[in-house]
Structure 1
Amino acid sequence: MAKNNSGNGRSTFSVIGSDIVITGDIAASADLHIDGKVEGDIACSSLVQGETSVIHGNVKADRARLSGTVNGSIAAKELVVLQTARITGDVQYDALTIEQGAQVEGRFAPKMDKPAAKQAQQVGANDEPKLAVAR
């Protein structure tokens, strides 16, 4: 199901309903809302996952709002993990919000652009890590 909010024929988002099971990878140029089950990787601009949704695969999106189950790695520029989310896999992000009650089993790492990654490799072994605590 796709909703069209403009007169140019392009859909603004696609919905995978709770009664749908997809086996295979999904690549969407539109925003995606998933309430069903996906057995495969997902790549899209924006992903909204419903509470009853299950994804067995990797997720790559500019923006992701997760509230169901994900078994796989996640890479998103803006990631929101809601309290009902259950994630098993590594998470890469630029901006991250996690609600109290969400469960994540995996490693968190900020995504690094190429200049920052190169700079991180140049840091010497004798450099002390720095920690700042905000009050």
Structure 2
Amino acid sequence: MFSKTRVTEPGPRHSTPETEPTRAPIMDSYDLPPQQGMRTRSGPSVLSSDLTVKGNITTQGDVQIEGSVEGDIRAHQLTVGESAIIRGEIVAEEVIVNGRVVGRVRGLKVRLSATARVEGDIVHKTIAIESGAHFEGSVQRQEDPLGNGVTPKLAPPMAAKPALDDDLDS
């Protein structure tokens, strides 16, 4: 087996490998290999109703906003509370709006509850709008609303060519 003297134990060791109890090796967190790509799910980060954020928020986790944010928000799942006011773009896999959003919303799943107030465009893969929700803007379905590309817009109609004077004389 392994024999290792401990520096922190006082006095000499009087045990032999046969009489020494078997001990499991102690592993510290720095002994563990980094697990890339794995994210442990914990509860959402909550911004309380008395908190105002001026700036962008970016996370790979879940966020619940009850206060006000003036800036863009990028998250895995975003819940906008009834008392919340967001002024900026929202990009998340799942967006649940119970409060007020002034700005564009992009999400795979977007849900506007009955208390939602949204002023801006919504780009989504799936959407649910409850009766009573207030929405001003356009709704566009895309397979990949989270893509970094710009939302395609329709080209303006081409103006008709004016008739040439020579054509009128013939």
| TM-score tier (shorter) | 0.7 to 0.9
Unaligned runs of 5+ in 2: 1-38, 153-170
Greater RCO (Cα-Cα under 8 Å, separation 6 or more): 1
Q: Quick check: which one's strand share is greater?
A: 1
**1:13 alignment counterpart:** 44
Structure 1 unaligned runs (5+)?
Answer: 1-7, 118-135
**Aligned partner letter, 1:112:** E
| Post-superposition CA distance 1:12-66 (Å, at most 9, x none) | 4200000000000000111000000000000000011110100000000000110
In the TM superposition, 1:39-118 aligns within 5 A as 39-113=70-144
Within the alignment, does 1:32 sit opposite 2:63 as a pair? yes
Query: Which 4+ stretches in 1 moved above 3 angstroms?
Result: 8-12
Q: How many residues align?
A: 108
Greater Cα radius of gyration, structure 1 or 2: 2
Aligned-CA RMSD value: 2.0
Query: How much does 1:80 deviate?
Result: 0.6
Q: TM-score, normalised by structure 1?
A: 0.75
> For residues 121 and 41 of structure 2, what CA distance do their matches in structure 1 show?
33
Percent same amino acid at aligned positions? 34
Give the Cα separation in 1 of the matches to 2:83 and 2:41.
28
State the TM-score, normalizing by the size of structure 2. 0.60
